[in-house]
Amino acid sequence: MEKFNICVVGAGYVGLVTGTCLAELGHRVVCVDSDPRKLKALKARKIPIYEPGLDTLFLRNIREGRLHFAASVDEGMHHQGRRAQVVFIAVGTPPRADGSADLSAVEAVAEAVARNMRDYTVLVDKSTVPVETGEWVSKTVARHNKKGVAYDVVSNPEFLAEGTAMNDFLKPDRVVLGVTSPRAEAVMRKVYAGIKAPVLVTDVKSAELIKHASNSFLATKISYINAVAAVCEKVGADVTLVAKGMGLDRRIGDKFLRPGLGFGGFCFPKDLEAFYWISKQKGFDFRLLKEVKDVNDFAKTWVLRKVEENLWNLEGKTVALLGLAFKPNTDDMRFAPSVDIARMLKDRGVRLRGCDPVAAANAKALPAFKGMVFCRDPYECVKGADAMAVLTEWEPFRTLDMKRVRRLLRVPLVLDGRNLYDPAAMRAAGFTYCSVGRP
Ligand SMILES: NC(=O)c1ccc[n+]([C@@H]2O[C@H](COP(=O)([O-])OP(=O)(O)OC[C@H]3O[C@@H](n4cnc5c(N)ncnc54)[C@H](O)[C@@H]3O)[C@@H](O)[C@H]2O)c1
């Protein structure tokens, strides 16, 4: 099968995984990033993010000459005399204050690509973007394409999840290709030829909407079960049993029905808001999405509510936060619920201790954790605290020595925001134990 020269612009969680996996499929890939520190690390064969399984493929493909790095689109598209035939946009699309997506990096890349095209080029948007972005990208390229080179814009949304990104990319549930021409479709099918998955070919707008609609749907499922958990807490029912009973219905499925402290990360919160924003701008008030956000904001107040219920006055009390990353197996702190939870507790005069197996370094840089005592491990973290709150379901937290925890805590109060422990066993061990939506 034909292999391509591919340029991936943006070497973050999505771009670096995409570039590495495309190299693994046999293409020659140049990853471009404008962040000099990231680029320096990559060129020194160091991975600037934590993603299980990425290192092996990353090193192998560098060694075998298929994976390269460059500082600019200009360099990346003409790397060592080879012209890029396919360019992926994988830059960030962060939220603006009003909830809309900031697409200025996407525009900058489109312009740079237009200036560097010498022959037919497929420009692929992999970043998550609102519907109609493809049209804007195409207009931008047309404006700066002074030599009139042929090109196509493709929407190829990415569905990987941090922590399982390699597997998600190489064995996806589906590959979505939003295309405007058979020529672009043929190229994209060859790019993904090594991947066994259903390929859904659509128009560009539908592909863009598939991504926003999918993430918003998953966020809705999480908020739904969190709302059910709130009802369970009121009436003394067990949300895990309710979720199990729901999940056995194949029309519903058991995924994304685990109650907790709300969703976070760089995708769900911003994509939900951006989908709401673009729908409204186009004339539909998608109020359901507003409710999903409200339920999520409420879920994030769980720790504060439980601390208040159990410890009376909060000023001067100490809470140990176990886990800071928005989910396990990632160092990503962007929009992590722990950020809001820490801020709420601090605003009420609570002293914080915290630990995380890999995200601590990223957390240290955030203002929400200023003044928090960062600890090496959960035992050091709970020492002398008035409560232990589990915020992230990291595997090592499941098997803590609870006798030791009990001895180290000043008050034996455990707030299990991820339902890791057995309520009866925790009570038998002498804890006051609260979990989400369980009696
Ligand atoms: N993180 C995820 O799990 C995930 C999953 C699916 C889709 N997405 C989407 O993929 C996109 C990227 O997300 P991410 O998590 O990889 O973000 P990221 O911040 O980790 O990576 C983006 C990278 O782009 C670089 N960059 C920004 N502007 C640039 C420019 N003009 N030229 C070159 N490089 C530039 C940044 O330095 C950064 O390294 C977003 O739209 C996101 O919504 C993310």
Which tens digits make up the pLDDT trace of 153-173?
A: 999 999 999 999 999 999 999
Q: Phi and psi for 320 in degrees, rounded to 5?
A: -95, 120
In a domain, 207, yes or no: no
Question: Which of residues 202, 228, 251 is at a domain's end?
Answer: 202
Which protein residue's CA is at the shortest distance from atom 21 of ligand 1? 12
CA of 430 to the centre of ligand 1 (A): 46
CA of 105 to the centre of ligand 1 (A): 9
Atom of ligand 1 nearest to the CA of 38: 39
Atom of ligand 1 nearest to the CA of 49: 20
Residues 277 and 382 occupy one common structural domain: yes
Catalytic residue positions, numbered: 267
CA of 94 to the centre of ligand 1 (A): 9
User: Within 13 Å, how many C-alpha atoms sit on residue 190's CB side?
Assistant: 15
Atom of ligand 1 nearest to the CA of 35: 37
Reported as a pLDDT band with limits 50, 70 and 90, residue 223 is: very high
Residues 388 and 317 occupy one common structural domain: yes
Q: What are the residues facing 415 on neighbouring strands?
A: 389, 434
The answer for residues whose C-beta is within 8 angstroms of residue 290's C-beta and 6 or more apart is: 276
Q: How many domains does one find in the chain?
A: 2
Residues 198 and 240 occupy one common structural domain: no
- Which of 49, 69, 91, 159 to mutate to test ligand 1, by most ligand atoms within 8 A of the CB atom? 91
Q: Phi and psi for 152 in degrees, rounded to 5?
A: -135, 150
Q: Alpha-carbon distance 392 to 236, whole Å?
A: 24
Residues 87 and 19 occupy one common structural domain: yes
Angle between helices 133-144 and 204-235 (to 10 degrees): 150
* CA 223, 301, 95, 166 torsion-angle sign: negative
In a domain, 212, yes or no: no
Residues 192 and 272 occupy one common structural domain: no
Reported as a pLDDT band with limits 50, 70 and 90, residue 10 is: very high
* CA 308, 313, 315, 317 torsion-angle sign: negative
CA of 33 to the centre of ligand 1 (A): 10
Which protein residue's CA is at the shortest distance from atom 20 of ligand 1? 12
In a domain, 208, yes or no: no
Atom of ligand 1 nearest to the CA of 14: 16
Q: What is the pLDDT of residues 358-404, one digit of tens each?
A: 999 999 999 999 999 999 999 999 999 999 999 999 999 999 999 99
Q: What are the residues facing 6 on neighbouring strands?
A: 29, 86
Residues 87 and 119 occupy one common structural domain: yes
DSSP labels for 386-398? SEEEE-S--HHHH
| CA nearest neighbour of 291 among 378, 385, 224 | 224
In a domain, 210, yes or no: no
The enclosing domain of 161 has a CATH number of 3.40.50.720
In a domain, 262, yes or no: yes
* CA 189, 194, 200, 206 torsion-angle sign: negative
In a domain, 214, yes or no: no
Residues 97 and 127 occupy one common structural domain: yes
Residue 162: helix, strand or coil by DSSP? coil
In a domain, 357, yes or no: yes
Give residues (CB < 6 A) around ligand 1.
9-15, 32-35, 38, 90-93, 105, 108-109, 127-128, 158, 160-162, 266-267
| pLDDT mean over 305-332 | 97
Atom of ligand 1 nearest to the CA of 165: 3
Residue 182: helix, strand or coil by DSSP? helix
Residues 233 and 353 occupy one common structural domain: yes
Determine how β-strand 175-178 pairs with β-strand 199-202. parallel
Q: Alpha-carbon distance 9 to 34, whole Å?
A: 9
Residues 273 and 170 occupy one common structural domain: no
Residues 133 and 73 occupy one common structural domain: yes
- The pTM score is 0.96
Does 322 have pLDDT greater than 90? yes
The widest CA-to-CA distance across the chain, in whole angstroms, is 76
Q: What is the pLDDT of residues 12-56, one digit of tens each?
A: 999 999 999 999 999 999 999 999 999 999 999 999 999 999 999
Q: Alpha-carbon distance 25 to 393, whole Å?
A: 33
The share of the chain scoring above pLDDT 70, in percent, equals 100
| pLDDT mean over 78-102 | 97
CA of 3 to the centre of ligand 1 (A): 25
Range of the domain at 128: 5-202
Question: Which of residues 137, 167, 202 is at a domain's end?
Answer: 202
C-alpha Rg value of the chain to the nearest Å: 24
Q: Alpha-carbon distance 202 to 178, whole Å?
A: 5
CA of 14 to the centre of ligand 1 (A): 6
CA of 111 to the centre of ligand 1 (A): 17
In a domain, 47, yes or no: yes
Does 335 have pLDDT greater than 90? yes
Cβ proximity of 372 and 401 under 8 Å: no
pLDDT score, position 1: 84
* CA 359, 365, 366, 372 torsion-angle sign: positive
- Which of 21, 266, 268 to mutate to test ligand 1, by most ligand atoms within 8 A of the CB atom? 266
Q: What is the pLDDT of residues 52-66, one digit of tens each?
A: 999 999 999 999 999
Mean pLDDT value across the chain: 98
- Which of 21, 33, 263, 333 to mutate to test ligand 1, by most ligand atoms within 8 A of the CB atom? 33
Which protein residue's CA is at the shortest distance from atom 36 of ligand 1? 10
Q: What is the pLDDT of residues 173-207, one digit of tens each?
A: 999 999 999 999 999 999 999 999 999 999 999 99
Residues 115 and 230 occupy one common structural domain: no
Atom of ligand 1 nearest to the CA of 32: 33
- Which of 9, 13, 162 to mutate to test ligand 1, by most ligand atoms within 8 A of the CB atom? 13
Q: Alpha-carbon distance 255 to 220, whole Å?
A: 12
Residues 127 and 274 occupy one common structural domain: no
